[in-house]
Every structure is written in C-alpha cells, then in structure tokens.
Amino acid sequence: MKKFTLLCAAVAAAVGMNAQDLTPLTVDMWHQWNGFGEDATIIEGAETGVESFLGEPLKQGSMVIGQSLCNGDVYVDLSEYDGIEGVATPGISVRFFFNRDAMQGNGLDKSANTDADGKYTFLFSELGNVKFIHLNFVKILEVWRGGQWPDGLESCVVESMNLIPKGTIVPDDPEPVDPLAITGEWFHEWNGYGADAEIEVENPNGIESNIGKDLESGATLLGNGNVPGNTYADLTDYDGIEAEGTPGVKLRLLFNRPSMEGGSAPITECNPVFDEDGKFTFMFSEIAEKEGDNAYPYVHLNAVKTPASWAGGYPEGISVAKVTKFNVIPKAGSAVKAIENAEADAVIYNIYGQRVDESYRGIVIKNGKKYINK
C-alpha cells in the first residue's frame, strides 16, 4: 500500500502546523445543487436544513454534521481538499458519506477511527478514482455497521472537523507496481455486455479497490458493489487469478452479468477459498464449466466481494479478513513476451489502455499484442 507523509491533518501538532492552516468544516459550506455530478451547480438561496452537532454528546448513528434527510442533492463540494481531520472521543468511528448519486441513492460510505488521543484523519485518496468529492453527511458509525465503540461508553463528542488543504499530503516514494495486480483501474463502464463492447467511461465513480485492507463480511474487494452488468474488468486475455489472503476465507467472484439490472440479472459466481497457507489459484476454465452450453467467449469480472452472512459469511472466529494479492495469470504459452520482439516504433499502451512510453515497466500492449517491458 502507498504510504503518506502528512504535513497537516490530525498530525498538525506533530509537524507544527498552525490551526489557521486548516479550514473548519461548517454548515454554511453545504448547498442544495441541481444535480449529483461534477457539472452540478448551486441553487442560490435554497434552504439546506444542514445542522452541526460538533461539541455535543452523541449516540451511535447520530448525525455529526449534515441534513437529517440525507438528500443526495444537498452536499459540500470538497474536491479542492485532500482530506478531513479532527479530534473526538477516543476509540469511536466517524462515518463519512460521499457522492450520493440520487436523492436517496448509492454513494461511498467510508469511516475513520479515533486513536488513543482522540485524533482521526480521513484522506480522500481512499475514495479511489473519483472525479469529484461531494460530502453528503457525517455520522457516528454504529457497531452493527462495523464501527468501533468502547465498552460502557454512553455517548461521545466530536470536538472538531477540519479540512486538509490541497497539496499538503505528500506521497512517499511509491512502491513498485505489480503489472499483474488487478486494481480498481482495471474496471470501466462499457457500452455493452459482450465481446464487442467498447469502453464508454474509464474508471467510473463507485469503483472500490480494497486490496490490503481489513474487510468485514459482505464487503466489496474490487468493482462496483451494486454489480451493474456494464461495469467490469475485461480479463478475457488471461487464464486465471492467483490470490493471497486470510486462510479459510472464501471470495465471491462475480462474472459476466449480461444486463444492467442488479440482483435481477443472472451472474456467474465462483467461490475459491484461501487454503491453510492463505493462497488460491482460480482458473477461468471453471467459469465455462459453470455456464455450460451458455458459456460466453469472454471473461468480464463485474465485482469481487467477501461473503455476507446469507452467503455463508466468514469461518467461525474470523471477524475481518484481508486480501493481500489478487493477480491475473497470463495465458499459457503466451501473448506476454519480451518487448524486444515488438516493433520499436509502435505506439505503446499499458493494460489500462493508457498510452505510455518506452520507460514504462510492466505489461504493455503493442500492435494489439502483450509484451513485458523489463
């Protein structure tokens, strides 16, 4: 995972940043908008109904700041900030809800835990590849949703909530990227569901990528948790997946949904289990076996999830699991060759379809064929 050097945030005191360098989050930053995307504009003079309960005793599930109805068209645009920091009762979880896409629609539900000193930080980089950052509301996260709450605690207080200025979070030297590791950048919105579909929106909103993170039962590891059929990673040119994670835990690999409808549309589900060494190898030939006479000539990964209770949940004694590796397996024999065999003057793309130059390291595509640029 990428590490960060924080030049502000809850670490302001640690690095000597003054309080005036942070921007307090206040109710007057919320507006009612005429839509839910990056092109929405503010409806001037509209009453938002947003309230702030900073500094007041709060129970689990209580609103910290936001509108009680949680309407999707009432939000604060934080696209020009890097994150949120503050101080609250030690040992609790603060819940942030971003980018609601309708009046009571879907969105990005994230949280941050307070440390022993009561400090918490949420970095917007954890939202993944989003084009905008619209904060709908902040609440105290309940235990039943996976939040923390100390035994015997009757109420908590969120004392402060401050915005981290853009550019004050500096990434450390990035760790090498494994070109075979499947990430959120592999997922796109397509103009169809078959082998001839083309990318319509690269890395759309709503894609989650949680490799290396602690996951509750029923969480989304990769992809859009609502599993729309036209959002997927095309893995047709690979033979399978190699993964590492918590021993005994199974995953829900969801392939080849043939229409937009979520739960009402058929989907091919495969359930590999991490062995006692925390590994599994899943070959895509198993998809064809499941689909039988209806087998599709392509492999479209719509999403990967951990099993919810209705799908078997985790083994007894495991409350959270982690997947540390989730890599594709190149086809045997294969289209992946040394790049020296390719034409030197051909245009080069990476596996995400982005144009790159000769300095790029990893799997690249030249003239429609894959090569390894070492």
Alpha carbons within 13 A on the beta-carbon side of 33: 24
pLDDT at 240: 95
pLDDT at 344: 55
pLDDT at 244: 97
Contact 313, 271 (CB under 8 A): no
pLDDT at 129: 75
- Separation CA 183–CA 144 (nearest Å): 28
Average pLDDT per 10 consecutive residues for the chain, totaling 374 residues: 43 44 92 93 95 97 96 96 96 96 91 96 87 96 93 97 85 69 93 90 88 94 93 94 97 92 81 96 94 90 95 92 95 54 60 67 66 63
DSSP H or E run through 285: helix 285-291
- Separation CA 221–CA 210 (nearest Å): 5
Nearest alpha-carbon partner for 302 in 242, 239, 271, 260: 260
Look up residue 186 and give its amino acid.
W
pLDDT at 371: 67
pLDDT at 125: 86
Alpha carbons within 13 A on the beta-carbon side of 213: 18
Nearest alpha-carbon partner for 349 in 334, 368, 335: 368
Question: 132 CB contacts (<8 Å, ≥6 apart)?
Answer: 37, 38, 77, 79, 99
Nearest alpha-carbon partner for 108 in 197, 1, 226: 226
- Separation CA 342–CA 348 (nearest Å): 10
Alpha carbons within 13 A on the beta-carbon side of 280: 21
Q: How many beta carbons lie within 10 A of that of residue 271, not counting itself?
A: 12
Give exposure, 44-64, as e/b (b: 16+ Cβ within 10 Å): eeeebebebbbeeebebeebb
Give CA 349 to chain center in angstroms. 24
Contact 72, 107 (CB under 8 A): yes
pLDDT at 368: 57
Nearest alpha-carbon partner for 326 in 197, 187, 196: 187
pLDDT at 13: 43
